[in-house]
Amino acid sequence: MAKAKTRKPVAKKRVSKSKAPTSRADSKQAQLIKMLERPDGATIDEIVKKLEWQSHTVRGAIAGALKKRLKLKVESEKIEGRGRVYRIPA
């Protein structure tokens, strides 16, 4: 009969508690929120230029991440000469 192999215990990796979580203040979502919190708000085109996103990605982020997930109230209004402007009321 063949002898059964025994496994050696595997050491678990320890996570250092001294490491603070990294800040996400510079994320694109945070930048989007800052743009929408401005008094004059932001248009889709302005956000596309700043964040280098596609326009459908901007609309999806506003509808999904901001409105649905974060429960932020995002208002939009059409301004002559500028187009549709989105903003988060203060």
Sheet containing 42-43, strands listed edge to edge, beginning at the edge strand earlier in sequence: 42-43, 83-87, 75-79
pLDDT tens figures, 65-88:
999 999 999 999 999 999 999 999
DSSP-assigned letters across all residues of 28-80:
HHHHHHHHHHSTT-EEHHHHHHHHT--HHHHHHIIIIIIIIIS----EEEEET
> Which CATH fold topology does 28-87 show?
Arc Repressor Mutant, subunit A (1.10.10)
pLDDT value, residue 10: 75
Whether the full predicted model's pTM is greater than 0.75, yes or no, is no
The residue extents of the domains of the chain are 28-87
pLDDT tens figures, 7-56:
777 777 766 565 544 558 889 999 999 999 999 999 999 999 999 999 99
